[in-house]
Amino acid sequence: MCGIFAIYRYDGDVENYRQRALFLSKKIRHRGPDWSGCYTINNHILAHERLAIVGVDSGAQPIISEDKKLVLCVNGEIYNHKQLRAQLEQKGYAFKTHSDCEVIMYLYREMGTEFVHQLDGIFSFVLLDVDNDRIIAARDPIGVTTLYYGWRSDMPNTVYFASELKSLNEDCDKILAFPPGHLYDSKTKETTRWYKPSWWDGNKVGENPVDLKLLRRSLEASVRKRLMAEVPYGVLLSGGLDSSLIASIAVRETQKITSGTIQQDEPRFDESGPNMWPGMHSFSIGLEGSPDLIAARKVAEHLNTIHHEYTFTIQEALDAVSDVIYHLETYDVTTIRASTPMYLLSRKIKAMGVKMVLSGEGADEVFGGYLYFHAAPDDAAFHSETVTRVKNLHYADCLRANKSTMAWGVEARVPFLDLSFLELAMAIDPRDKRPVPGHRMEKYIVRKAFDTSDDPNVKPYLPDEILWRQKEQFSDGVGYGWIDALKDVSQVKVSDQAFEHATAKWPKDTPTTKEAFMYRVLFDQWFPQEACTESVIRWVPRKDWGCSEDPSGRAQKAHQAAY
């Protein structure tokens, strides 16, 4: 992934503003430390900060067509780019780069804005059609990549786009998170939803009985397509079910690709990663002796990965919280709790020269894996909540995975959010998904799909103690002392008097705990403009189901070590 910054129809002297645009783009250079590009034409500016993963030697952006009529900036990865490239070459298109993103320009020329339906990947892009003075911007269906757009009241016809809020907050007085699965077209000045899956209406409850083998094959294909890379890569391994499964599948798929044993009926993608980097690296982090470190070690031994284990101290994490809020651009409690260890780990990963990692985000939303889902009153409510959680991932776990890693120029890919896998998983009857106390734990069908204990000819994907490990949210699993410390520190830093005036200070989205108050203060220090709060959504369990507002898994009754 990369960082993009663009201005459409700047109402002023563009050449004089170019230096300002370079400064605003530089604010997100952590997303793309490998190269910077900027292109100005008419009254438009497009800038790009590149993280080179595919087409390393020739993929600098903005990409400009030979006739200079199209200009493109992309943050993301197009997994089916080779298939699309082959189709376009048959129509006479000559490619300038080996980038997976160049196909976007020629697809637009062939199909207009409908081309977005052809893209299989994670992406945010801005495409300038020079002849028609038209700009197209779009974001991937779930919002794995980040994108914002903004306006300024003194230039009503000017539109800004950026991968992060920090490139816009000083110059725009209205800023919105660009909605996932949507496309903005300056021709109509409208942002419309193009991603319309069958499961989008949460009131239409899935009815398909679970097919465990199909579920397993679909997730394996999802992981396989994400092994596209021309740089060293690895897997984030917390020792929980989700990351451990992704690691296990990645190891197996790498071995199949390098040994040439993929079956003819299995889908093929860009397999550059395993062919160039066959050894699988895994990375974990936690406080000394934390549950995640112990579990991750067992998984790494089982999979025989090249494992890297890091410990952090509570003080190191506390010192990083302000920087985490700067990079995450949120004051949400659960996001900050979980992002801080991930942010620290990403720095270690970057120091090793690794630029891409696979991660397990999304499984809990898709399958109702959070412990508060135990309290769902019925099947319909359970299903509706999974749909809502998936729709809001771009405010929470996707935002965390993207910005925590990209703060250090590391890209995170999330196989559980593959569109084909989502189409399958979200259509499953919630009666198969819901936990049943004493009979079926959370994410039972995922665990069962990868339970090969009844087949002695298949090597176990994971040790049983990991496959059937209770859900442990990342912010808990790194060590229970981490969240406890945050609560203790907030009690010291936030006085009772200040907390009593929280409503007066923030009448909208008022902090309800001293920990939340502490984060809101830090957020305001980085982003004092009122426009900056519009893109923040807080993650809380369902209080109307009788659940604690505290997002920690330990705050739920189903947790074995509940508060």
- Residue from 240, 526, 218, 202 nearest 392 by CA: 202
SS3 content of the chain, % helix, strand, coil (to 5): 45, 15, 40
pLDDT of 563 over the 70 cut: no
| Order of strands, sheet of 281-286, starting from the edge strand that comes earlier in the sequence | 306-311, 281-286, 233-236, 356-358, 411-413
Distance CA 70, CA 212 (A): 46
Cα four-point dihedral sign 527, 532, 535, 540? positive
Radius of gyration over alpha carbons of the chain, in Å?
23
pLDDT for residue 417 = 98
| pLDDT above 70: residue 468 | yes
Looking only at the bridges linking them, the beta strands covering 281-286 and 306-311 are: parallel
Superfamily (CATH H level) for 3-193? Aminohydrolase, N-terminal nucleophile (Ntn) domain (3.60.20.10)
Nearest by Cα to 531 from 25, 159, 169: 169
Mean pLDDT of 46-62: 92
Instruction: Find out whether 21 and 7 touch, Cβ atoms under 8 Å.
Output: yes
Structure confidence by residue, pLDDT tens digits, 222-250: 999 999 999 999 999 999 999 999 999 99
Exposure of 122 by Cβ count < 10 A (0-12 exposed, 13-18 middle, 19+ buried)? Answer: buried
Pick the catalytic residue: 2, 38, 73, 547?
Answer: 2
Residue 79 and residue 9 in contact, taking contact as beta carbons nearer than 8 Å: no
Is 362 assigned a ligand-binding role in the annotation?
no
Sequence letter at residue 165: L
Q: Would residue 532 show up in a list of annotated catalytic residues for this protein? A: no
For CATH 3.40.50.620, the residue range(s) in the chain are 212-555
The answer to whether 99 touches 114, Cβ cutoff 8 Å, is no
In sequence order, the β-bridge partners of residue 63 are 72
100 is in an annotated binding site: yes
Write the pLDDT tens digit of every residue in 330-355. 999 999 999 999 999 999 999 999 99
Confidence of residue 17 (pLDDT cuts 50, 70, 90): very high
Whether 434 contacts 376, CB under 8 Å: yes
**Nearest partner of 205 among 426, 372, 443, judged by Cα:** 426
DSSP strand pairing (121-129 vs 134-139): antiparallel
* pLDDT tier for residue 386 given thresholds of 50, 70 and 90: very high
Helical segments of 75-159, H only: 81-90, 103-111
**If you average pLDDT over every residue of the chain, what do you get?**
94
Q: Is 285 annotated as a binding residue?
A: yes
Question: What H or E segment, with its residue span, contains residue 285?
Answer: strand 281-286
Q: Which CATH superfamily is domain 212-555 in?
A: HUPs (3.40.50.620)
Bridge partners (DSSP) listed for residue 45: 7, 40
Domain boundaries for CATH 3.60.20.10 within the chain: 3-193
Residues sharing a CB contact under 8 Å with residue 420, sequence separation 6 or more, in sequence order: 218, 221, 222
pLDDT for residue 554:
60
What span, in angstroms and rounded, lies between the C-alpha atoms of 51 and 356? 10
Query: Does residue 260 have a known ligand-binding role?
Result: no
Nearest in space to 450 (alpha carbons), one of 387, 383, 367, 385: 367
Whether the full predicted model's pTM is greater than 0.85, yes or no, is yes
Contacts made by residues 502-508, CB under 8 angstroms, sequence distance 24+: 508/533
Instruction: Over range 312-324, report the average pLDDT.
Output: 97
User: Cβ distance 556 to 541 under 8 Å?
Assistant: yes
Res 540: pLDDT: 87
Once rounded to an integer, what is the mean pLDDT over residues 61-87? 96
pLDDT at 438: 82
Query: What digits encode the pLDDT tens for the residues 244-264?
Result: 999 999 999 999 999 888 888
| 468 Cβ contact partners less than 8 Å away, ≥ 6 residues apart | 441, 447
Torsion angle of alpha carbons 306, 312, 316, 317, nearest 10°? 90
> Would you say residue 94 has pLDDT above 60?
yes
Q: Which comes out higher in pLDDT, residue 148 or 474?
A: 148
Q: How many CA atoms lie within 13 A of 543 on its CB side?
A: 4
In the predicted structure, residue 487 carries a pLDDT above the cut 60: yes
**Predicted confidence band at 283 (pLDDT cuts at 50, 70, 90)?**
very high
Instruction: Quote the tokens at residue 75.
Output: 């943050």
Least confidently predicted of 83-97, 311-325, 466-480: 466-480
What residue type is assigned to position 28 of the chain? I
Give residue 555's pLDDT band: very low, low, confident or very high (50, 70, 90).
low
* Least confident among 174-188, 193-207, 375-389, 474-488: 474-488
160 or 563, greater pLDDT: 160
Residue 133: is its pLDDT beyond 60?
yes
Indicate if the pLDDT at residue 558 is higher than 80: no
Q: Say whether 86 sits in a helix, a strand or coil.
A: helix
pLDDT at 557: 67
pLDDT band at 404 (very low <50, low <70, confident <90, very high): very high
Task: Say whether 359 counts as a known binding-site residue.
Answer: yes
- pLDDT, position 439: 85
Q: Are strands 356-358 and 411-413 parallel, antiparallel or unpaired?
A: parallel
pLDDT digits (tens, 9 = 90+) for 513-542: 999 999 999 999 999 999 999 999 999 889
Among the residue ranges 48-62, 196-210, 415-429, the one predicted with the least confidence is 48-62
